[in-house]
């Protein structure tokens, strides 16, 4: 489920606790979670509703100025299906973000991260890629994934999957557009450079 930036900011600030979607079948279920840049979003409930069941409070708590504005936005959807009210809340920080923010690493932890990259590269079906992707992101923070992938003559989707593997190690952070090295990633790159000096 995609969220606009202002909606995520509203959820993080406690102003928004529900969103509305047009779906033939619900795309999320109660109890599921979703990682976002503001943290982990927890889905509390998903309910099919008619336009008549949508209240003024629904509109205000979903980030709209009023019920009419919400209904107008829903009516403009090109998707087929009925209206669904998704109740949600911010469950806490993304553990990857907490990991990414930790740059105070021991030599043993840095060596462990290097070993993790070596292991990924060894198992790769193509040439080793982890350091190349980290260097590219370091040199071009905020560059679109498509443009980064083109630098390496690669397709965007497999490239993004690789970046997600690095993010799982806490080495990169997603921006509104593109990526950047996390503090943890910067510490690792400095360590890797020190090994070749």
pLDDT of residue 88: 97
- Residue 36 in this model has a pLDDT that exceeds 80: yes
CA distance 129 to 121: 6
pLDDT of residue 97: 75
Nearest residue to 144 via CA among 130, 152, 156 = 156
- Give 99 or 118, the one with higher predicted confidence: 118
pLDDT in tens, 125-146: 888 999 999 999 999 999 999 9
**Angle at Cα 136 formed by Cα 130 and Cα 139, nearest 5°?**
140
- Residue 99 in this model has a pLDDT that exceeds 80: no
Contact indicator for 142, 175 with CB cutoff of 8 Å: yes
**Angle at Cα 184 formed by Cα 179 and Cα 189, nearest 5°?**
85
What residues have CB less than 8 Å from 173, skipping those under 6 apart?
Answer: 97, 100, 167, 179, 180, 181, 182
Contact indicator for 195, 125 with CB cutoff of 8 Å: no
Nearest residue to 24 via CA among 72, 76, 64, 84 = 84
Kindly report the backbone phi and psi dihedral angles of residue 8, in degrees, each rounded to the nearest multiple of 5, phi listed first.
-60, -40
**Angle at Cα 79 formed by Cα 75 and Cα 82, nearest 5°?**
65
- Residue 18 in this model has a pLDDT that exceeds 80: yes
**Beta strand 39-49 with 33-36: parallel, antiparallel or unpaired?**
antiparallel
SS3 percent helix, strand, coil of the chain, rounded to 5, is: 45, 20, 35
pLDDT of residue 93: 81
pLDDT in tens, 45-94: 999 999 999 999 999 999 999 999 999 999 998 889 999 999 999 998 87
Contact indicator for 70, 54 with CB cutoff of 8 Å: yes
pLDDT of residue 28: 93
pLDDT in tens, 158-176: 999 999 999 989 999 888 8
């Amino acid at each position: 489920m995609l969220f606009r930036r202002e909606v995520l900011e509203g959820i993080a600030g406690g102003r928004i606790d529900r969103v509305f979607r047009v779906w033939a079948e619900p795309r999320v279920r109660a109890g599921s979670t979703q990682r976002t840049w503001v943290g982990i979003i927890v889905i509390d409930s998903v309910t099919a509703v008619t336009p008549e069941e949508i209240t003024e409070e629904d509109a205000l708590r979903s980030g709209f100025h009023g019920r009419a504005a919400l209904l107008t936005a829903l009516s403009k959807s090109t998707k087929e299906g009925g209206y669904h009210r998704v109740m949600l809340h911010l469950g806490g920080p993304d553990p990857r973000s907490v990991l990414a923010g930790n740059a105070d690493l021991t030599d043993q932890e840095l060596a462990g991260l290097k070993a993790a990259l070596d292991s990924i590269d060894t198992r790769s079906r193509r040439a080793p890629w982890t350091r190349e992707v980290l260097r590219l992101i370091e040199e071009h923070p905020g560059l679109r994934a498509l443009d980064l992938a083109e630098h390496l003559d690669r397709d965007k989707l497999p490239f993004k999957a690789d970046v997600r593997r690095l993010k799982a190690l806490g080495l990169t952070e997603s921006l509104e557009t593109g990526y950047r090295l996390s503090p943890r990633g910067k510490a690792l790159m400095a360590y890797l450079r020190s090994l070749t000096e």
